[in-house]
Amino acid sequence: MSDRTTRYENLEQPQKRGRATEAIIRAAFAVRDIPVLVPTADEPYDLVVEVGGQFHRIQCKTAYRKSEGTVAFGTVATRRGNDYSRDDYRGRAEYFAVYDPITDSRYLVPVSDATDGKMEIRFREPKSGRRAGINWAEDYLLEERLADLRRPR
């Protein structure tokens, strides 16, 4: 296990992992010369980026190892306290920016592609050889998705 992964696991509170993921994602956009805006109030998105002359609301998520060759991330906001609720991000953000601390990978997943509750991203062929219905990591790599967003429409 890498030092990076160990350091991430040592962040015991989910909020600390979330803040670390947000910082890593913001830096990923910044080093690509993409303007990043951060909301000043509690919004259903963590940041807004301007790519290709368009603004995109981004919800940052930390991936976790689901199984061999697969990572997953939550696709709903869970609120506790007096009420327990699971809120969908459809209509409230356009993309999930996902950071995988194990592989140090960054993904940009359209909210419209996400399944309800959690989404799995596969970065290694399954032993079964199955290909249909799989969310392949290479389709969601940050660099690839940004290239798509930069293309004129």
User: Domain span at residue 9?
Assistant: 3-150
pLDDT given at position 148? 86
Q: How many domains is the chain built from?
A: 1
pLDDT given at position 102? 86
> Can you tell me whether residue 18 is helix, strand or coil?
helix
pLDDT given at position 86? 66
Output the pTM of the full model: 0.86
> Can you tell me whether residue 39 is helix, strand or coil?
coil
> Can you tell me whether residue 76 is helix, strand or coil?
strand
pLDDT averaged over consecutive 10-residue blocks of the chain (153 residues)? 64 80 96 96 93 95 89 82 73 95 94 92 85 89 91 72
CATH code where residue 124 lies: 3.40.1350.10
pLDDT given at position 99? 96
pLDDT given at position 79? 64
